[in-house]
Amino acid sequence: MNGIETIASGPMWAGFVGFVLVMLALDLFVFGGNKAHKVGVKEAGLWSIAWVSMALLFNGGLWWYLKTTVGADVADQKALEFLSGYLIEKALSVDNIFVFLMIFTAFQVPQQYQRRVLVYGVLGAIVMRAVMIGAGAWVVSEFSWVLYVFGAFLLLTGMRMLVAADKEPDVKQSPVMRFARKHLRVAEGDHGEKFFVAANGIRYVTPLFLVLLLIEATDLIFAVDSIPAIFAITTDPFIVFTSNLFAILGLRALYFLLVDMADRFHLLKYGLAMVLTFIGTKMLIMPWYHMPVQASLTVVAVLIAGSCIASLYVARKHDAN
């Protein structure tokens, strides 16, 4: 019960939150993120490069600032923690993307409307994750044994993913959809990019709004996996929050970059399941062995890269036959 420990000062928190708000405002009102628009591979690729570059520049800036204020050892440690957290969240978000694609396909959402749904989905994800990270940081600081609960949960989740990696859920019959259709007035049919329509003085939600609800619920479920995974690397809420948000901010661009290649990375789910299993095990053995951040980063990178390479190899072999 030592309280929440972080390397961030008030101005650092304010600066990062300000940066996020500016980028979201630019996306919504300058780059037309709230308008229907079909995103091509080139545009998605450029945005993906931009977001990854900004994350790395932020990490470099954080390292330099900490090196000049508190010393190289702390700077090196925090930079590695950020990079590890960012890589884990980025990797787990790929599984998120596969589910997004499944949802859009099931509801036959045209690609030009998918961008708008994902913009508001990202906004909701940022709010949800900020609340979850804040709550998680407080719980961990007050009850350190919770980390072992996180570890057991991640271990079981990883094992369950390994067993059920090839099973696809029926998204149209999910509890979220059943609840929404029971309690909301839904205007069936195609209403373009609108989330709400009015008829005879009554306001209705559109099927596109139901898709948005399902996207938000999906991200919430994935956050329950990814946030404890980053707490396995660091309990500093600033590092957890910034690494998480940089990965989330680049999620939409990554979706449109990978949407046409999803089938080629069919083994990635096994790699992600092994990542969760590894992180859960790492958390459970902490009383006896504390694995260095460098080693954790290496293992995670090898598992992700290995599953991607194996996926591409199998896909190429299948194409050749």
C-beta atoms surrounding 245 within 10 Å: 24
Model confidence at 17, in pLDDT bands (50, 70, 90)? very high
Model confidence at 1, in pLDDT bands (50, 70, 90)? very low
- Residues β-bridged to residue 198: 203
Q: Which 8-state DSSP code applies to residue 184?
A: S
Write down the number of H helices and E strands in the chain.
11, 2
State mean pLDDT over 171-198.
80
CA distance 113 to 39: 10
Model confidence at 262, in pLDDT bands (50, 70, 90)? low
> Residue 90 belongs to what domain range?
10-148+170-263
Tell me how far CA of residue 14 lies from CA of 10, 18, 20, 76, 319, in angstroms: 6, 6, 10, 23, 51
**Is 182 domain-assigned?**
yes
CA distance 45 to 310: 23
Number of structural domains (the chain) is 1
Q: Of 26-30, 110-114, 295-299, where does mean pLDDT reach its minimum?
A: 26-30
**Is 250 domain-assigned?**
yes
State mean pLDDT over 287-312.
84
3-state secondary structure of 203: strand
CA distance 26 to 133: 25
Q: Of 4-8, 258-262, 286-290, 305-309, where does mean pLDDT reach its minimum?
A: 258-262
State mean pLDDT over 236-261.
87
pLDDT tens-digit map of 75-112: 999 999 999 999 888 888 877 787 888 888 888 888 88
In this predicted structure, the answer to whether residue 184 has a pLDDT above a threshold of 70 is yes
3-state secondary structure of 26: helix
**Is 40 domain-assigned?**
yes
In this predicted structure, the answer to whether residue 41 has a pLDDT above a threshold of 80 is no
Structure-block tokens of residue 56 = 């790395």
Most confident region among 94-98, 129-133, 175-179 by mean pLDDT: 129-133
- pLDDT of 260: 67
Asked whether 119 and 33 are in contact (CB, 8 A), the reply is yes
- Residues β-bridged to residue 235: none
CA distance 268 to 38: 26
In this predicted structure, the answer to whether residue 166 has a pLDDT above a threshold of 90 is no
Asked whether 293 and 77 are in contact (CB, 8 A), the reply is yes
**Is 306 domain-assigned?**
no
State mean pLDDT over 12-39.
78
In this predicted structure, the answer to whether residue 68 has a pLDDT above a threshold of 60 is yes
- pLDDT of 167: 64
**Is 297 domain-assigned?**
no
- pLDDT of 54: 93
Model confidence at 14, in pLDDT bands (50, 70, 90)? very high
- pLDDT of 60: 95
Q: DSSP assignment of 285-301, as one string?
A: TTTT----HHHHHHHHH
15 or 220, greater pLDDT = 15
- pLDDT of 121: 86
281 or 221, greater pLDDT = 281
**Is 184 domain-assigned?**
yes
**H or E segment to which residue 309 belongs:** helix 293-320
Percent of the chain with pLDDT over 70: 91
By the 10 Å C-beta count (0-12 exposed, 13-18 middle, 19+ buried), 249 is classed as buried
Tell me how far CA of residue 119 lies from CA of 25, 27, 56, 88, 113, in angstroms: 11, 8, 23, 22, 10
State mean pLDDT over 44-68.
92
State mean pLDDT over 157-162.
82
- pLDDT of 34: 56
Most confident region among 118-132, 161-175, 255-269 by mean pLDDT: 118-132
